Structure 1
C-alpha cells in the first residue's frame, strides 16, 4: 500500500470554507482520476505552526498509480486548489509506503 500525503497549513478563519471546498470539490476531483482506492483526512493536534494543520492521505496498491497521478493530474488539481486560498494556505506533499 502506498500513500500520497498532502499536508496543509491554513489560516484559522478559513477553516470551514476550506473544509467545504476540500470535501465537496478537491477530494472528489482526485478520487475521480481512478488512481486511488481510498483517502483519509487528519488534523495535526500538536503542530508548532500558527494556524491549523491537516494531512490528506490518498491510498493506492500500486506505486505506478501514485506516480501516474503525480505526472498527469497533481500540478493542475493542487494548483487550482492553491488559487482559491491564495496567501491563506501552504502545502507540501510526500509519498509513503505502508510497512505494517
Structure 2
C-alpha cells in the first residue's frame, strides 16, 4: 500500500473557504480511481510562517496507481488549487510505502 501525502499550509484569511473547498477537492481526487481512501488531518504544530497546516493522506494500492495519477490527473487538480488560492497556500508532497501495520495486542487474561 502507498500513501500520497500532501501537506498544505493555508493562510488564515482563506482558511475556512479552503476547508469548504476541500470537501469537493478530495472527492475529485478520489474519483480519479487511483486511490482507495483519503484522510484530512490538521497538523497540531504552530508554524513560524503562520496560517494553518493540514495533511491529506491518499491511499493507493500500487505504485503504478500513483504513477498513473501523476501522468493523467495531478497537473489539472493542482492547477485548480493554485488558481483558487494562489500564494495563500503552500503545499509539498511526499510518497510513503506502508511497510507493516501494527495493532495493540489483547493483554488482558
Give me the TM-score of the superposition, normalised by structure 1.
0.92
Q: Name the SS of the counterpart of 1:58 in structure 2.
A: strand
Coordinate RMSD, CA, aligned: 1.1
When Rg is computed on C-alpha atoms for both structures, the one with the higher figure is: 2
1:19-98 alignment runs, 5 A limit: 19-23=19-23, 25-49=24-48, 50-98=50-98
String of CA shifts for 1:11-53, please: whole Å, max 9, x gaps: 1121110011011x21111111101000001111114331111
Q: Distance in 1 between matches of 2:46 and 2:78?
A: 22
Q: Distance in 2 between matches of 1:78 and 1:92?
A: 11
Q: Distance in 2 between matches of 1:19 and 1:90?
A: 14
Following TM superposition, the consecutive aligned residue runs of length 4 or more in structure 1 with deviations greater than 2 angstroms are: none
